[in-house]
Amino acid sequence: MADEATMSSPASRPGARPAGPAGAGRPGSGPRRGGPFRPRRKVCRFCAEQIKKVDFKQIQVLRTFTTERGRILSSRITGNCAKHQRQLTRAVKRARYLALLPFSAS
């Protein structure tokens, strides 16, 4: 009788997934994302260099935060904090308006 109860459970069927949270078997998912292959947390460049304000006249600095097409990189990619990402966006837009940076590459 006990064999019938275990045979009818979905976990005992061949090819069935073990019980647990969704995606628990996939690497890089679930609540624990540690391990040796975890990417390092990005640090805000402006906070690290203790720059208070992002200046629109520093074209070389602004170019490092834009793509070759002229688009502003997101803070996810650059690692900027929210405060400096807002200042960076404002500075890039001012530099574009004053023709220091191109709006888009052709």
CATH number at residue 65: 4.10.640.10
Domain assignment present for residue 61? The answer is yes
Retrieve residue 56's tokens.
């629109």
- Closest by Cα among 32, 26, 105, 30 to 63: 105
Total-model pTM: 0.63
Domain assignment present for residue 18? The answer is no
Residue where the block lists tokens 């460049």: 45
Q: pLDDT band at 105, cuts 50/70/90?
A: confident
What range defines the domain where residue 80 resides? 45-97
**Cα(86)–Cα(89) distance, rounded to whole angstroms?**
5
Q: pLDDT higher for 44 or 33?
A: 44
Predicted pLDDT of residue 40: 81
Number of domains, the chain: 1
Predicted pLDDT of residue 5: 54
Residue where the block lists tokens 């996810």: 76
Domain assignment present for residue 17? The answer is no
